[in-house]
Amino acid sequence: MVVTSLRTITVVILWLTVLPFAASAADGPIRVVGTVSPLSDIVRKIGGRQVVVSTVLAPGIYPSEYLFREGYLAKMRGTDLVIRIGEGGDPWSDRLIAAIGARVPVINAARQEDLAIANRFARSREPAGAGGPSIPQLYVWLDPRIVRDRIAPAVLQALVELRPARAAEFKRNSRRLFFELSKMDNETGALLAQMPPKPFMAQTGAWSFFFNRYGLAPVEVVVPDERAEISAERVSRMIARGRLAGVHLIFRNHRPPSRPLTQIAKRIDATLVPLGVMGNEHPDMMSGNYLELMQVNIRKLLMAFH
């Protein structure tokens, strides 16, 4: 009887000792790694206080510029969820995910069908060999409906599966984001419908999803991706095409414009309008907040077309 009682007491003590640690692991914050700021912020908006999110790319760095560093792998330990562009938009993320382990869920923001949009806007490009292979411009978060109808639901599902007890909070945050995105999308579409169409060029195919959503088509995409150089021959073609089409707007990224791009704008008397894709390229948008990024872009777009 005494032996049995001691065994029972021992089991109870072990159970009471282990249970708090198990509960802590199940109730603690979800550790998430995002490859780019906009995707990280979408997770924060849905996860709220229940997530701790880190971003691979530093402010001002584009996916095509990231140099893989072995030292970063140590920061990936203990990760519960990864959200990335996918489909070649951040190819270096494969090594990061492999370091975490196969069991960690991964959300790919882009899908195969998104490549068709990216490739269509990148059809104007240098001949093969001029600057290496093109990197797909899969900035899918620049389409608010893709975020609302596909990316955000995927994030919600992943968070609920990781912390079922927090499902109500995640769903509440998700509904709030859904309404904010719907309002922004509806207002943007209505305002652009009232604007007279103006021919324009785009520096890169980065805004392909944004332009496509609202039926906007650039006369020309100057370069297919951020790494490509603009040759003298291409500059001449862009100037001739811009004059022929009556282009007076060129949407560029937030970095200082390159000399060839400035030359094109000057020769066709076009205004260079900076738009953001990462949400942290410019001092005015260093927070990486997704909704702020889109609101700034929409405001600049409307002002340019006004």
The confidence score (pLDDT) of residue 135 equals: 55
Q: Three-class SS of residue 290?
A: helix
The confidence score (pLDDT) of residue 282 equals: 67
- Residue 34 φ then ψ, to 5°: -110, 140
Cβ–Cβ < 8 Å for 38, 141: yes
- Residue 84: band (very low, low, confident or very high) from pLDDT cuts 50, 70, 90: very high
- Residue 114 φ then ψ, to 5°: -70, -25
Higher pLDDT, 14 or 211: 211
The confidence score (pLDDT) of residue 11 equals: 41
Taking CA atoms, 178 is separated from 46, 50, 140, 185, 277, in Å, by: 10, 19, 16, 10, 20
Per-residue pLDDT for 150 more than 80? Answer: yes
Mean pLDDT of 77-86: 92
CA dist 282 and 253 (Å) reads: 10
CA dist 87 and 48 (Å) reads: 28
Cβ–Cβ < 8 Å for 196, 227: no
- Residue 253 φ then ψ, to 5°: -80, 175
Q: What angle do CA 138, 173, 139 make, to 5 degrees?
A: 5
Which residues lie below 8 Å from residue 134, measured CB to CB, with a gap of 6+?
Answer: 122, 125, 224, 225, 228
**Structure confidence by residue, pLDDT tens digits, 260-275:** 899 999 999 999 999 9
**DSSP H/E element including 137:** none
The Cα diameter of the chain in Å comes to 99
CA 36 to chain centre: 6
Which residues lie below 8 Å from residue 188, measured CB to CB, with a gap of 6+?
Answer: 144, 214, 298
Tell me whether residue 171 is exposed, middle or buried, using C-beta atoms within 10 angstroms of its C-beta: 0 to 12, 13 to 18, 19 or more.
Answer: middle
pTM of the model: 0.85
